[in-house]
């Protein structure tokens, strides 16, 4: 039954067109079929509810409509920046208006902070308009439902019944609303804001030169600078972009696979039959997961310090004559870039192997033992059993983990920031030898105020991770059959 | 199986012997690895109790070359708790208190949000369920640091200011941190959802046949069965602020020393805004103060953690 349905499914665009058409048809039908109240509620919120005697619900709708219209018309101001229709006009981002030229000092003073408020408030206003439209639709729907209830001879639901429904078949609305509101304000809105920033000229760099400071829409120019480098600033960024991008990918590949296979090997070692003290050994390794990362990483950083124990042991052994700057060193003595890269990967193994070990331990125990028995009877060697049974089984089960840890490593901020801080310094644009895209993004936005360039890098990072996820994750059985798991 | 035994006693014996050698080799390898894994942590722990004097007769707080300290004592802890950092007296106890406040508030808010979202997604079926899951997945793919600046800015424009050292109500930054931390927490529902998925649907359905509302099912049936995941979620969100470094550093600001949380505070003592290399032993003592309780909590939670991560990883 299911497969037949799947085969007959028309393609995406046809389905989309169908659903859009159906939506408009039902919308028209409601207007024509509906009672006077429903027709009126297309213009006045809650009219249909009043018509059916649902006074409280109608009042709530009306209040929301009046509130939003007041918000749009009267434009409340915060810090001198208006919301409402004025915010929509401000969204054009006039550029020059936020900036004044002082002829006496010959300097530009700009009010970038107000400009970015304009963008933010414009986005908030758009969100309010979307909420208005959704309310409008829900108000028509609720009125139409009361119509059909009446036609079928039922009484329209009372306010008390509606509230009761929130605890029963509309329980999800009650439960999800807090999260939806919170994440709309603190996750979705900021993300959209930063995406918008990528298409503007917004940054705090170089207050005196004219072209960089004006705040206006810049189209795809930031992206173009990133790859081709048109002006002086763009050239510097473009010169560093490919090395950082390349290192991010190399890092992600190495960090993922070293930890993955190292963890599997360690798990096999620990879970060996006949080995005593499994728990003790496991505790030692799990300790690195349990200790907060900022502690363990900073501890390692100090351990490899110029005057730290590692360097002094090496010097006492006579292997080196002066301390090695393992993690890049100071600006006076920039260490070797490649040494720092290798060190970061090795320390990451120290951090990451226990994770994989913990995960695969459980999986190893689930491998059917008769597989090994059969192999032993056939005279297979230990290494053959490992490569032909254990490894394929573990890899098969943990592929989703492999993908998610790859993505996690692309965004692995803590390891790099706490270990090296991006050092060693490389001549170029505020990106050191071990900087990943995310740490570069952090440096550009938080330290240097280059918000637009930082946002471009954020979007590129998103593009990489999203591509990987879309290709692998959506194809996986786990995603498609998520429902059937229970 | 039996044919293998019949092939000869001698082969069996030699196999047993080689097995024993392999086992001994395993012990040696594992012991060495454990040593490597434990060294940095042991080192920090030892040096937290180090009392070493320099030539002038003062306590030496720098990183030193010897691995094992020569003398032990509690001086570093006493120093740490009474130290004046960046013009703030008793900075470390303040950071501890700040972190505790944030952690408790976060714990309550996040647990509530996470459990309610996870239950909805797992056990209720509604039109926007799949779109909601897809949305959280897509948002999760953006690097968190990208929107961090925007969140900081948003909090500022909402009047949750107090970010500059001259403001009167700088404690508002802590409130901002609580809001920012717990607001996004609802999106991290996956592990709790995995737990609810395992509770049989028939339980929910039979309760529904008996006339239970969805709220009653959640409150009276599901929650009492979900003690492990409630404990897990609560403790995880309680531990978050103790370990979170970068988010609180940006939201509160390194210069707002009085209202920092422990992680950025300790970082800045050692490497950041008011770094001083002679703070190392104090830093180590601070790490012990924060690290020991967190580590114990994690060890206690390990079972749930593994279950959650494995379920999440294997199911996707």
pLDDT tens digits, A141-190: 888 888 888 888 877 778 888 888 888 778 888 888 889 888 888 888 88
Instruction: Select from A188, A292, A359 the Cβ nearest to the Cβ of B243.
Output: A292
- d(CA B89, nearest CA chain A) in Å: 23
Chain A CB within 8 Å of residue B141 CB = yes
**Sign of CA pseudo-dihedral A197, A199, A204, A210:** negative
Instruction: Select from A167, A187, A451 the Cβ nearest to the Cβ of B139.
Output: A187
pLDDT of B184 over the 70 cut: yes
Task: Tell me which residue range forms the domain holding B272.
Answer: 80-315
By CA distance, what is A485's nearest residue in B? B197
Orientation angle between helical segments A337-365 and B9-48, nearest 10 degrees:
130
pLDDT at A66 (0 to 100):
92
Retrieve residue B289's tokens.
């103060």
Mean pLDDT of B188-212: 85
Q: Does residue B143 share a domain with residue B112?
A: yes
pLDDT at B309 (0 to 100):
62
Q: Does residue B192 share a domain with residue B93?
A: yes
Rounded Cα distance between A406 and B90, Å, is 42
Q: Does residue B154 share a domain with residue B73?
A: no
Among B32, B61, B79, the domain-final residue is: B79
Rounded Cα distance between A420 and A298, Å, is 10
* Mean residue pLDDT across chain B: 83
Chain A CB within 8 Å of residue B40 CB = yes
By CA distance, what is A482's nearest residue in B? B315
For A245, A256, A308, A341, B168, the CA distances from A249, given in Å and listed in that order, are: 6, 11, 31, 13, 46
pLDDT at A103 (0 to 100):
55
pLDDT at B1 (0 to 100):
45
By CA distance, what is B286's nearest residue in A? A295
By CA distance, what is B146's nearest residue in A? A458
Q: Is the ipTM of this complex over 0.90?
A: no
For residue A99, the cross-strand partners are A110
Mean pLDDT of B93-98: 93
Instruction: Select from B67, B129, B316 the Cβ nearest to the Cβ of A478.
Output: B316
For residue A101, the cross-strand partners are A108
Q: Please say whether the beta carbons of A216 and A201 come within 8 A.
A: yes
Among B62, B79, B96, the domain-final residue is: B79
- d(CA B272, nearest CA chain A) in Å: 10
Rounded Cα distance between B11 and B121, Å, is 58
Question: Which residues in chain A show pLDDT less than 70?
Answer: 1-10, 79, 93-115, 204-214, 229-234, 329-334, 427-430, 473-486
Q: Does residue B48 share a domain with residue B152?
A: no
Mean pLDDT of B171-200: 85
Q: Does residue B52 share a domain with residue B91?
A: no
Rounded Cα distance between B156 and B158, Å, is 5
Q: At B65, is the secondary structure helix, strand, or coil?
A: coil
By CA distance, what is B189's nearest residue in A? A179
- d(CA A377, nearest CA chain B) in Å: 6
pLDDT at A111 (0 to 100):
47
**More confidently predicted of B315 and A362:** A362
Q: In chain A, which among 212-241 make CB contacts under 8 A with chain B?
A: none
Rounded Cα distance between A248 and A246, Å, is 5
Q: Please say whether the beta carbons of A171 and B218 come within 8 A.
A: yes
* Domains identified in chain B, total number: 2
Q: Please say whether the beta carbons of A45 and A139 come within 8 A.
A: yes
Q: Does residue B151 share a domain with residue B27?
A: no
Which pTM does this prediction carry?
A: 0.83
CATH of the domain at B254: 1.10.3720.10
Q: Which residues of A touch B151 (CB under 8 A)?
A: 186, 190
Chain B CB within 8 Å of residue A298 CB = yes
| DSSP-assigned letters across all residues of A166-204 | HHTTTHHHHHHHHHHHHHIIIIIHHHHHHHHHTTB----
* Per-residue pLDDT band at B110 (split at 50, 70, 90): very high
**Sign of CA pseudo-dihedral A456, A458, A460, A466:** negative
Instruction: Select from A185, A197, A275 the Cβ nearest to the Cβ of B23.
Output: A275
Chain B CB within 8 Å of residue A202 CB = no
pLDDT of B5 over the 80 cut: no
Neighbours of B124 (CB within 10 A): 18
- The position carrying tokens 């002006």 is A231
Q: Does residue B16 share a domain with residue B115?
A: no
Give the DSSP H/E element, type plus range, for residue B313: helix B280-315
Q: Please say whether the beta carbons of A287 and B41 come within 8 A.
A: yes
Half-sphere CA count of A36, side-chain side, radius 13 A: 3
Q: Where are the domains of chain A?
A: 1-33, 36-219, 234-485
Q: In chain A, which among 103-142 make CB contacts under 8 A with chain B?
A: 116-117, 120
Rounded Cα distance between A77 and A47, Å, is 31
Among B49, B79, B109, the domain-final residue is: B79
pLDDT 10s digits, A396-433: 777 778 888 888 899 888 889 888 887 777 766 667 78
pLDDT of B115 over the 50 cut: yes
Q: Does residue B91 share a domain with residue B73?
A: no
Q: Which residues of A touch B150 (CB under 8 A)?
A: 120, 189-191, 193-194, 197
By CA distance, what is B177's nearest residue in A? A186
Rounded Cα distance between A458 and B295, Å, is 33
Rounded Cα distance between A243 and A457, Å, is 13
Instruction: Select from B36, B180, B214 the Cβ nearest to the Cβ of A168.
Output: B214
- d(CA B261, nearest CA chain A) in Å: 13
Q: Does residue B108 share a domain with residue B71?
A: no
Mean pLDDT of B34-38: 92
- The position carrying tokens 């580590």 is B295
By CA distance, what is B20's nearest residue in A? A274
User: Which CATH number is associated with domain A234-485?
Assistant: 1.10.3720.10
Structure letter (DSSP) for residue A322: S
Q: Which residues of B touch A373 (CB under 8 A)?
A: 1
Q: Does residue B16 share a domain with residue B138?
A: no
- d(CA B88, nearest CA chain A) in Å: 23
pLDDT 10s digits, B244-284: 888 888 888 877 888 889 999 988 888 877 778 888 888 99
pLDDT of B212 over the 90 cut: no
């Amino acid at each position: 039954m299911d497969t037949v349905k799947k085969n007959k499914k028309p393609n995406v665009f046809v389905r989309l067109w169908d659903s859009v058409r159906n939506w408009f048809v039902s919308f028209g039908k409601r207007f024509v079929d509906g009672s006077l109240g429903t027709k009126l509620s297309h213009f006045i919120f809650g009219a249909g509810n009043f018509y059916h005697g649902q006074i409280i619900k109608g009042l709530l709708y009306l209040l929301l409509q009046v509130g939003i219209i007041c918000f749009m018309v009267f434009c409340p101001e915060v810090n001198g920046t208006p919301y409402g229709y004025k915010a929509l006009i401000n969204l054009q981002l006039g550029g020059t208006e936020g900036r004044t030229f002082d002829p006496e000092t010959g300097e530009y003073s700009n009010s970038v902070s107000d400009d970015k408020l304009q963008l933010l408030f414009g986005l908030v206003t758009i969100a309010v308009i979307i909420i208005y439209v959704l309310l409008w639709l829900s108000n028509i729907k609720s009125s139409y439902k009361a119509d059909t209830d009446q036609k079928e001879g039922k009484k329209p639901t009372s306010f008390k019944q509606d509230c009761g429904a929130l605890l029963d078949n509309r329980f999800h609305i009650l439960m999800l609303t807090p999260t939806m509101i919170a994440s709309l304000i603190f996750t979705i809105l900021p993300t959209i804001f930063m995406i918008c920033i990528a298409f503007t000229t917004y940054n705090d760099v170089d207050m005196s030169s004219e072209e960089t400071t004006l705040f206006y829409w810049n189209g795809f120019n930031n992206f173009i600078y990133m790859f081709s480098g048109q002006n002086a600033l763009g050239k510097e960024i473009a010169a560093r972009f490919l090395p950082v991008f390349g290192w991010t990918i190399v890092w992600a590949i190495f960090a993922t696979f070293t930890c993955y296979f190292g963890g599997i090997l360690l798990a096999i070692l620990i879970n060996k039959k006949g080995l005593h003290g499994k728990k003790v050994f496991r505790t030692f390794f799990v300790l690195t997961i349990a200790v907060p990362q900022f502690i363990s990483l900073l501890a390692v950083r100090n351990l490899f310090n110029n005057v730290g124990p590692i360097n002094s042991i090496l010097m006492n052994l006579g292997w080196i004559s002066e301390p090695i700057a393992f993690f890049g060193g100071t600006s006076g003595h920039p260490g070797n870039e490649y040494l720092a890269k290798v060190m970061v990967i090795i320390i990451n193994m120290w951090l990451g192997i226990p994770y994989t070990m913990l995960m695969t331990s459980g999986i190893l125990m689930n491998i059917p033992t008769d597989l090994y028995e059969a192999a032993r009877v056939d005279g297979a060697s230990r290494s053959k059993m490992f490569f032909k049974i254990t490894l394929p089984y573990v890899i098969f089960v943990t592929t989703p983990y492999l993908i998610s840890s790859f993505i996690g490593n692309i965004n692995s901020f803590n390891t790099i920031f706490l270990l090296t801080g991006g050092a060693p310094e490389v001549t170029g644009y505020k990106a050191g030898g071990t900087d990943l895209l995310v740490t570069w993004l952090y440096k550009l936005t938080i330290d240097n105020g280059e918000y637009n360039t930082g946002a471009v890098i954020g979007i590129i990072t998103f593009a990489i991770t999203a591509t990987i996820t879309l290709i692998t994750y959506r194809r996986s059985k786990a995603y498609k059959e998520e429902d059937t798991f229970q | 199986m039996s044919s293998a035994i019949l092939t000869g006693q001698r082969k069996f014996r030699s196999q047993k012997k080689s097995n024993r050698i392999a086992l001994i080799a395993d012990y040696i390898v594992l012991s060495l690895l454990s040593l490597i894994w434990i060294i940095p942590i042991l080192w920090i722990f030892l040096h937290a109790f180090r009392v070493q004097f320099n030539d002038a007769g003062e306590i030496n707080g720098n990183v030193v070359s010897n691995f094992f300290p020569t003398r032990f004592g509690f001086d570093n802890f006493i120093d740490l708790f009474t130290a004046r950092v960046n013009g703030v007296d008793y900075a470390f106890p303040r950071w501890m208190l700040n972190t505790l406040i944030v952690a408790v508030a976060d714990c309550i808010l996040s647990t509530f949000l996470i459990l309610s979202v996870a239950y909805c997604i797992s056990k209720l079926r509604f039109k926007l369920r799949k779109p909601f899951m897809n949305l959280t997945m897509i948002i999760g793919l953006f690097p968190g640091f990208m929107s961090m600046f925007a969140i900081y800015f948003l909090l500022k424009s909402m009047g949750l200011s107090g970010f500059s050292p001259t403001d009167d109500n700088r404690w508002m930054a802590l409130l901002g941190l609580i809001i920012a931390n717990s607001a996004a927490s609802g999106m991290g529902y996956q592990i709790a959802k995995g737990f609810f998925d395992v509770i049989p649907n028939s339980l929910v359905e039979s309760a529904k046949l008996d006339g239970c509302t969805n709220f009653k099912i959640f409150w009276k049936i599901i929650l009492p069965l979900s003690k492990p995941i409630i404990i897990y979620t609560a403790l995880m969100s309680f531990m978050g602020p103790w370990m979170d470094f970068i988010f609180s550093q940006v939201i509160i600001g390194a210069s707002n020393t009085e209202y920092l949380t422990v992680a950025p505070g300790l970082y800045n003592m050692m490497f950041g805004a008011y770094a001083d290399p002679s703070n190392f032993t104090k830093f180590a003592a601070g790490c012990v103060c924060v690290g020991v309780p967190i580590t114990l909590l994690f060890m206690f939670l390990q079972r749930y953690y593994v279950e959650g991560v494995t379920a999440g990883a294997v199911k996707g």
